[in-house]
Structure 1
């Protein structure tokens, strides 16, 4: 009851609290959007999607690869040829 009487009293006195923003409200959304797009691009640059290093002179012969690497390359090639 004490809180409601304080609210009624404040309303009767015409108390008005103004919290001004440092910039217009739509700029907060624009800045947030650009920040998230920037973070997405940064994350995307660390994603090595569908990149398989080309065979160089070091691994020109697939038989010279270790068994686990040869299996990984064979799986990749089989998915790529579909």
Structure 2
């Protein structure tokens, strides 16, 4: 069983941290590369650069801590 309480030790190539409604970003951990906040539009291109052959539908490759595929609501003009 994978460790989902410590995302850095999870072993997943991509680990999307829990949803936070106060920001338009989700923190995404890329194995071997660290963690960064990404917007919905940045997610796939950033992950593809790190893992070109990744299957976004495979939960063993892309693990969501919660709310798979969801991003906080954000509207242009918001800080």
TM over 0.5: no
After TM superposition, the score normalised by the length of structure 1 is 0.21
- From the CA coordinates, give the structure whose radius of gyration is larger: 1
- Greater relative contact order structure (CA < 8 Å, 6+ sep): 2
**1 or 2, which has the higher helix percentage?**
1
Q: Which has the higher strand share?
A: 2
